[in-house]
Amino acid sequence: MPDEICFLSARELARRIRERELSAREVTEAHLTRIEEVNPQVNAVVTLTAERAMREAAAADELLAAGARPQPLHGLPVAHKDTHDTAGVRTTSGSPLLADNVPARDELVIERMRAAGTIMLGKTNVPEFAAGSNTFNPVFGTTRNPYDLSRSAGGSSGGAAAALASGMHPVAEGSDMGGSLRNPASFCNVVGLRPSPGRVPSWPGDAAWATMSVQGPMARTVADAALLLSVLAGPDPRSPIALETPGSAFAVPLDRDLSGLRVAWAPRLDGSIPFEPEVVATLEPAAKVFAELGCTVEEAYPDLSGAEEVFRTLRAWQFELGLGTVLDRHRDRLKDTLVRNIEEGRRLTGPDLGRAEALHTRLYHRTREFFERYDVLLAPVCQVVPFDVDLEYPPEVAGEPMHTYLDWMRSAYLISATGCPALSVPAGFTAGGLPVGLQVIGPHRADLAVLQAGHAFEQATRYTERRPAL
């Protein structure tokens, strides 16, 4: 029974709690038991707040008993990404420098989830300062892929994705600059949405106008990701780029007739980057699925020239802004790749940033024009299948050397530079049983359309129903 509870969808769990078929205590206890059983193998949940969770569950049950109107996520237990500040619960960002850091306040995404009724189970693992897409750090060690414990779970929301796949929580929030919601979702056979910038407002932060890094939902199904987005989205005066559309716009059924949808299929994204043959072969049937759903599908590649420079420049600038003082004080306590990223930011000049902004503008308009011809773009999420967990990053892809820990993530971060919403949805398994995700990309601010297309694909294929054998 506990395992059955842990693999119910978030929507079904919320319904059963709301209608008092299950208590929040039962649901929370089942997830705590699941964490106790499988987390030692996976190392996804790194700070556990079991006693607090059971107190909050009891309070949630008492509210229902008193006739209170339940919130959308009432009684759902969740572990939060360890880069997101949680009042009274340590937030380490995977760094020894913050090993004992206990924030005084929740950041905005945590505020919204708790206001919607979630119960805090603890925190999930991340790479050091969320830098990289393999989740390991000197504080908590390495998170392993539930489908193959010798493989990476991705990152930086790797702990969140591995916990979802393992049944440790039903939904999770994450963040995504270069693929940190999408890469781990692809590696762990779950769903991750990189929303449009401003869709999920962020606060606090030093770069409130920046659009490269966003926060968003993860779940085991597209419908559950939409449910969490309905809580996370919506305007907030503390974010100057927050979109005005209320979160309730995403609390709707996702079923939609896709007949006539114009779909661009780009098996190698823009044709300029390498992919492992297993990735492309596993995703090849995806285009046929959309054709069977009534879509008009053709192979077409967006022009992403300039996206590489845009992403690398703005990322380096943001890393220096956020971590420059940490480098000055604690260089010897930061991983080498992180030091190099911050130093790259310091070498930037005013003209470098100006050029990046000009390229960014041109990229926006080319992308806008591409989506005048197509409604949805399909592409691989990752260039590789989940790799050896003991590697920081793959040394090569399809015979092409990867010189930095970013090189193998281009299929995700080039899309980040466009500002388009992008969904990672489970799309198959290799012959060795490793998950592969499909990236469903839409026009600017077309988050709902992306969710609807991903939902239709999910319902037609049912890959989300396959569980790891832990």
Task: Kindly state the DSSP code that residue 388 receives in the 8-state scheme.
Answer: B
Q: Considering the candidates 93, 152, 180, 416, report the single residue annotated as catalytic.
A: 180
- Separation of CA 126 from chain center: 12
d(CA 400, CA 181): 25
- Whether residue 285 has a cis bond before it, omega within 30° of 0: no
Angle of helix 50-65 relative to helix 10-18, nearest 10 degrees, comes to: 50
Q: Which residues pair with 124 in a beta bridge?
A: 45, 81
CA dihedral 220, 226, 231, 237 (to 10 degrees): 130
Q: Is 180 a catalytic residue?
A: yes
Q: Considering the candidates 23, 93, 156, 157, report the single residue annotated as catalytic.
A: 156
Do the Cβ atoms of 336 and 392 come closer than 8 Å? Answer: no
d(CA 81, CA 214): 14
Q: Which two tokens stand for residue 321?
A: 């802004």
d(CA 459, CA 50): 35
Extract the runs of DSSP E, i.e. beta strands, from 320-449.
Answer: 376-380, 396-397, 400-401, 422-429, 435-441
d(CA 230, CA 44): 25
**Phi, psi (5° rounding) for residue 3?**
-65, -35
Q: Considering the candidates 81, 186, 202, 335, report the single residue annotated as catalytic.
A: 81
Q: Is 335 a catalytic residue?
A: no
Quickly count: other Cβ atoms within 10 Å of residue 21's Cβ: 11
**Phi, psi (5° rounding) for residue 236?**
-155, 130
Which residues form the catalytic set? Answer: 81, 156, 180
